[in-house]
A and B are shown apart, each in its own frame.
Chain A
Amino acid sequence: MLLNTWLLKLQIYLLRKPRFRLWATLENLKHDVLTAVEDSEINLPNLIFSYLSTAVFIPINFEKIYWKDVIESFYKVHGVTSTIRKIPITFNQSESKGDKDPWDYSNRLWPLYMHIIAKAYGWSDTKIAKLSVDNALAYIQEILTDKQLEKEFVWTMAEVAYVYDKSSKKSKFQPLTRPYWMITQKPNKKAPAVPKSLLPVGNIVRISNEIKEKV
């Protein structure tokens, strides 16, 4: 038990940023862990153990390790594998989070990302596997942006992009919908509506209006 704990702690301490392929595999496994926790699945321990085993290089018997050490290692691996560069494709939130393609399968992240880069640049899978995570993700965003802008150009020339408005008797251009990471994220600053019954009685002097008038 002690040897396993010691081995785990040492390997976690020596952990460095993974290359792209390992990172994609770890991200897939992490996603499985998060889903298992949400659904209180019985196989969560196995999923966490396979996540940690993928991150370390010497095999460990996790079954006898104190639970706190397992969780601590999970957080550390998660920290080391997090991306450094703020790339919109990684931090902007997709609204249709839960939607899965019917052709989706487990551990699809690596084949998908590898395919995107290989198709655009013609690189081999071994070369793509060794890329740094931040660079690979930046390349993917550039490839997808290019594709989207190309689609938008074609869209401007298509008849379906111009919807006929009966009232004005004119056609109006309907732009192509952009993916979530290409849309500027506006902070939701709208103040909550206060019910009339809770508003103070009497004249309300709005300071913001007074300032505007003075200016």
Chain B
Amino acid sequence: MKLKRKSKKLSFEEMWEVYRLFYSLNPSPLDIQRVVVIMYPNKVQLFKSPDEVLSSIIVGLYENEMEIFLGFVNGIK
């Protein structure tokens, strides 16, 4: 069965945390884990491989329109 993993709609605090963790120079496995917990709070145990985790993060970033958030941050910088 294919799992539907819709990511959570993030608040500003969560989005900023995802940005700081995932867009830091070398995100550690713990950082990645934290990003997954923020985006998929009730579905973490369903992830089986690192590839699945990364692709789900990318889907989560896309669903939360990270490019607009990056535009906001870079616009200020």
Question: 9 new A-B pairs (CB below 8 Å) besides A44-B16, A67-B69, A71-B72?
Answer: A34-B76, A37-B77, A38-B77, A42-B20, A45-B16, A65-B11, A66-B11, A70-B12, A71-B12
Interface contact A66-B69, CB-CB below 8 Å: no
Docked complex: A1-57 residues within 8 A CB-CB of B? 33-34, 37-38, 40, 42, 44-45, 48-49
Which secondary structure dominates chain A's binding surface? Answer: helix
Q: How large is the interface on B (under 10, 10 to 19, 20 to 34, 35 or more residues)?
A: 10 to 19
Residue from B14, B20, B76, B77 in contact with A67 in the complex, judged by beta carbons closer than 8 Å? B14
Complex contacts, B15 vs chain A, CB 8 Å = 67
Bound complex: CA of A45 vs CA of B11, how far in Å? 10
Interface contact B76-A65, CB-CB below 8 Å: no
Bound complex: CA of A194 vs CA of B77, how far in Å? 31
Bound complex: CA of A36 vs CA of B28, how far in Å? 23
Complex contacts, B69 vs chain A, CB 8 Å = 67, 71
12 A-B pairs within 8 Å (CB atoms) are namely A38-B77, A44-B16, A45-B13, A45-B16, A62-B12, A63-B13, A64-B11, A65-B11, A66-B9, A67-B15, A68-B68, A71-B12
Bound complex: CA of A44 vs CA of B64, how far in Å? 19
Interface contact A67-B73, CB-CB below 8 Å: no
Nearest chain A CB to B56 CB, angstrom units: 19
Question: Please, what's the 1-or-0 string for B1-45, where 1 marks a CB less than 8 Å from any CB in chain A?
Answer: 000000001111111100010000000000000000000000000
Interface contact A38-B76, CB-CB below 8 Å: yes
Which secondary structure dominates chain B's binding surface? Answer: helix
Interface contact A65-B77, CB-CB below 8 Å: no
Bound complex: CA of A45 vs CA of B13, how far in Å? 5
Docked complex: B39-77 residues within 8 A CB-CB of A? 64-65, 68-69, 72-73, 76-77
8 nearest A-B residue pairs (beta carbon): A67-B12, A70-B12, A67-B15, A45-B13, A37-B76, A45-B12, A71-B72, A45-B16
Complex contacts, B10 vs chain A, CB 8 Å = 66-67
Interface contact A68-B65, CB-CB below 8 Å: yes
Docked complex: A58-109 residues within 8 A CB-CB of B? 62-68, 70-71
Complex contacts, B65 vs chain A, CB 8 Å = 68
Complex contacts, B11 vs chain A, CB 8 Å = 62-67, 70
Nearest chain A CB to B28 CB, angstrom units: 16
Nearest chain A CB to B17 CB, angstrom units: 8
Nearest chain B CB to A29 CB, angstrom units: 14
Bound complex: CA of A71 vs CA of B68, how far in Å? 10
Residue of B nearest to A37 (CB): B76
Residue of A nearest to B77 (CB): A38
Residue of A nearest to B64 (CB): A67
Residue of B nearest to A74 (CB): B72
